[in-house]
Amino acid sequence: MSRMVTILLLAICLNTITHIEASDFGKLINKISTTVSKIKSQLFEYFHRFRVFFTRHTESTHHLMTARGCGYAVDDEPMIYNKRAKIVSKIKGGDDAIWHTWPWMVALSTNPSQGWSCAGVLVNEDTILTAAHCLLNRTANEIKAIIGVHTILGKLNPLNYYSIKSIYRHPDFENCCKNDLAVIKLKKRVLYGPKINSVCLPFPQEFTVDNDQNLINRTGVIIGWGETSQNALTNFIRSFTLQQADVLIFNNEYCNRAYEKIFDPATEICAGDYEQRTDTMSGDSGGPLLIRQSDGRWFVLGITSYGSAITPNLSPGVYVKLSAYEKWLEPYLKSN
């Protein structure tokens, strides 16, 4: 009997000791986790200060650009936007953009072995718009935003990388191609300056074109680092540098003929070149279709979604019509 009591008491003591050790071990793990989080946060802050110092994008430059408003480059003389596309394979049909002409352009990288996976456009200090299909089966930790770059060499500079806090695909997005819109929120706001600024959104408060009919046959600009032709060597050489090309905004009847029942005029815009010389291609997805307003500011009309640029019977590129998504975008456009 005494033997049974001894065994029982020993079991109780061991259980108590184990409980105490587990409790202490848990506290230790929590303490380590808290310390690591603090160190990571501090290192992130040091990295931010390091970036501010070397890029010279400071609170002062940020204030100056913010006071001026969205849609402006530092050097926005008309001549830098008046480059005419040569009939060669580039964006397709585009030209090398002049350095930092488009300070709202964002490259999205998901694979270290590739230059760019998709593109995006900066619409405020911590918000990027892109195509929802660019973020399929991706988490925020798997994507990096590369901002303030012009050539693929910018990918080699860690100061151009911005961590993603969260991503939001449109809840009604279909694989191809309805509601192909997504929002990316950055962990830390960017500072505006010579290489970075936001583009304007085509909402009634700022945009003076109040009717889609007034956009027909207006000249827009497409930009991107995507494929430039069906030739692999040409693609490698030409997409090294950001490309730009002029396109015409087509009427809905033309777009319906090109895509039959796929095209939705309520939520999409199509644009291109009647002679089929210019268009966006693979890798340009998520990038902007831009138009310049009479006051000199640039507005993003649409986000590159889909098209048929590599087929023999070339069809125009199709872009998500941002004006149709103002209500959905509104809560995401608030800065952190």
C-alpha span between 28 and 26 (Å, rounded): 5
Instruction: Encode burial over 73-95: b for 16+ CB neighbours within 10 A, e otherwise.
Output: bbebeeebbebebeeebbbbbbb
- In 3D, which of 331, 323, 74, 105 has the Cα closest to residue 199? 105
DSSP state of 146: E
Q: What is the DSSP string of 83-144?
A: PPPPSSTTTTS-EEPPTTS-TTEEEEES-TTSS-SEEEEEEETTEEEE-GGGGTT--GGG-E
Sign of CA dihedral 122, 287, 202, 325: negative
C-alpha span between 220 and 80 (Å, rounded): 15
Q: Which class for 255: exposed (0-12), middle (13-18), buried (19 or more C-beta within 10 A)?
A: buried
C-alpha span between 118 and 113 (Å, rounded): 14
Q: How far is CA 144 from CA 116, 136, 164, in A?
A: 10, 15, 6
Helix (H) / strand (E) element for 258: namely helix 252-259
- In 3D, which of 200, 184, 181, 234 has the Cα closest to residue 68? 200
Residues with catalytic function: 133, 180, 285
Q: Which class for 4: exposed (0-12), middle (13-18), buried (19 or more C-beta within 10 A)?
A: exposed
